[in-house]
Amino acid sequence: MIKIKLAVLGHLPYLIDISKIIKWKSCLFEIEREVGKYPITTDSDGPDWSYSDSNLVSIIPQRNSEDILIVITNVPLEGNYFARRFSDNRVCLTYHEMVDILTIYNISLENLILRVLYSISILYKRYRNRIPTRHEPTNFAHDETRGCLYDMCGIKTDIIHSLNKPQLCDDCVHDITHNENPRIDRSIIDKVQIELKKIHKERYYQILDFVKRRPVFTLILSTIITIVLGAVGSVLAAILLEYWK
């Protein structure tokens, strides 16, 4: 089981339910209950008020006994990425711009952290219990958007497809499980796929999406329900009237 610690870097001006993340049950990882909190002690040094990797690495905390440290912040990262990998199994995730995308598409803010937890954990296993730094040549992400944990999301808004019931696509599953030395058992991957389906929009927004996809069916269904309720009401009224007489 991979041990992961979360830490917040600087001020997060949004309501993110960290307790929902800590309570999340996975066959792949467990999250430490205590969440670190660290101030941002430097100013932006990159274009568009971003924080360069060298700047961030000077202020993100060191890893302790946990296997992976995930630092959550709100400042823009180098290259306008939403997550950056650092040395010693540390990852920094930002809500900069992401919060706008998530809000527009009615996706819970916590889903972004959960997605990163799974993608980073599997990456950790793929690279034999370590996270490759951003300087290493890697090919685990694909440019095509498939609703997969390893979508590159070069167009940032594409992230929405892997934040509502994400998956591991067939190619990624093949890469992980069919190498000469498989990094993760197929049975674990199957369990992970089931867990990933639990990362979804809230029920209300799922219903809204259904109505948008099938408006005629919804209209017919609501008409039938209205007629049935009207008929039931009439019968009940007749029974009550008879009873009072």
Q: How far is the CB of 173 from Zn ion (least distance, A)?
A: 8
Give the residue with the Cβ less far from Zn ion, 75 or 169.
Answer: 169
Q: How far, in Å, CA of 224 to CA of 125, rounded?
A: 52
Among 150, 160, 175, 176, binds Zn ion (CB under 5 A): 150
By the rule CB under 5 A, 172 interacts with Zn ion = yes
3-state secondary structure string, 75-135? CCEHHHCCEEEECCCEEEEECCCHHHHHHHCCCCCHHHHHHHHHHHHHHHHHCCCCCCCCC
Give the residue with the Cβ less far from Zn ion, 95 or 150.
Answer: 150
Reference 117, options 70, 166, 67, 163; nearest CA is 70
Among 21, 93, 120, 169, binds Zn ion (CB under 5 A): 169
Q: How far, in Å, CA of 108 to CA of 22, rounded?
A: 15
By the rule CB under 5 A, 148 interacts with Zn ion = yes
By the rule CB under 5 A, 109 interacts with Zn ion = no
Give the residue with the Cβ less far from Zn ion, 24 or 150.
Answer: 150
The 8-class DSSP code of residue 186 comes to: H
Give the residue with the Cβ less far from Zn ion, 1 or 152.
Answer: 152
Q: How far is the CB of 148 from Zn ion (least distance, A)?
A: 3
Amino acid identity for residue 148 in this structure: C
- Positions that interact with Zn ion (CB under 5 A): 148, 150, 169, 172
